[in-house]
Amino acid sequence: MTDWRIDNAKHTKGATLCFKKYVRWSDTWDHDHCVACWAKFMESGADVLTEGYATEDSYHWICSDCLRDLKDEMGWTLASGSK
């Protein structure tokens, strides 16, 4: 457990998250990063995450490792239908 991830992710505290495939935000924005550990999300590619936990507007993304480790600390809740 590392505190730097909590600090990175603090703006998402209390967010409701949905597990989904990563979808690019716009034509000019082809990737995102986990808000906590900065792991890279892309629609496809080597060494990237292609699915994860997103806020309901799909603007902030969180990887499954950070979800597991930080969920309680961050007060994240999963939207119904997500695992």
Single out the segment in contact with Zn ion by CB under 5 A; choices: 24-32, 41-49, 56-64, 68-76. 56-64
Q: Report d(CA 74, CA 11) in Å as an integer.
A: 9
Q: Is the CB of 66 or the CB of 74 nearer to Zn ion?
A: 66
Q: Is the CB of 24 or the CB of 69 nearer to Zn ion?
A: 69
Q: Report d(CA 30, CA 64) in Å as an integer.
A: 20
Q: Is the CB of 14 or the CB of 28 nearer to Zn ion?
A: 14
| H or E segment and range at residue 20 | strand 16-21
Give the pair of three-digit tokens for residue 61: 């993304």
Of residues 18 through 37, those in contact with Zn ion by CB under 5 A are: 34, 36-37
70 in contact with Zn ion (CB under 5 A): no
| H or E segment and range at residue 64 | helix 64-74
β-sheet bridge partners, residue 55? 17
Residue entry with tokens 């600090």 = 7
6 in contact with Zn ion (CB under 5 A): no
74 in contact with Zn ion (CB under 5 A): no
Which residues sit at the interface with Zn ion, rule CB under 5 A? 34, 36-37, 39, 63, 66
